[in-house]
């Protein structure tokens, strides 16, 4: 088992229930990914601007105007649970889970 990756913590944050064999396989995958990143880290990037987006685009805006969509009711119809005009979810009060 990897010493770099705490697979149980990652699974908990992602709300995943992993089977033992999945746990091993994913652990191995993540180790390989990290090893690849380590390799990238060796490159000198002092002269390279950081990139946060693959496209050479910036400043894509929309103007502030309302466009009515009217999908609310149709989305509600597809919700697993609903009551009146609300989506219904299991009771979750932050801090009491």
Closest to other proteins by CB, 8 vs 29, is: 8
Residues in touch with other proteins (CB under 8 A): 9, 12-13, 15, 52-55, 57-69, 71-73, 75-76, 81, 83-97
Buried b (16+ CB within 10 A) or exposed e, 12-42: eeeeeebeeeeeeebbeebbeeeeeeeeeee
Name residue, tokens 């705490």: 6
Minimum CB–partner distance for residue 27 and other proteins (Å) = 18
Minimum CB–partner distance for residue 30 and other proteins (Å) = 14
- For residue 7 the two structure tokens come to 């697979």
Minimum CB–partner distance for residue 88 and other proteins (Å) = 5
Closest to other proteins by CB, 21 vs 41, is: 41
Closest to other proteins by CB, 21 vs 71, is: 71
Q: How far apart are CA 95 and CA 16, in angstroms?
A: 20
Minimum CB–partner distance for residue 24 and other proteins (Å) = 22
SS3 91: coil
């Amino acid at each position: 088992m990897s010493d770099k990756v705490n697979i149980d913590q990652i699974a908990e944050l992602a709300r995943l229930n992993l089977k033992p064999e999945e746990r091993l396989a994913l652990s191995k995958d993540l180790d390989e990914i990290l090893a690849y990143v380590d390799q990238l880290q060796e490159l000198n990037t002092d002269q390279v601007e950081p990139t946060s987006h693959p496209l050479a685009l910036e400043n894509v805006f929309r103007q502030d105007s309302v466009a009515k969509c009217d999908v609310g009711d149709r989305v509600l119809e597809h919700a697993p649970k609903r009551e009146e005009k609300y989506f219904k979810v299991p009771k979750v009060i932050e801090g009491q889970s």
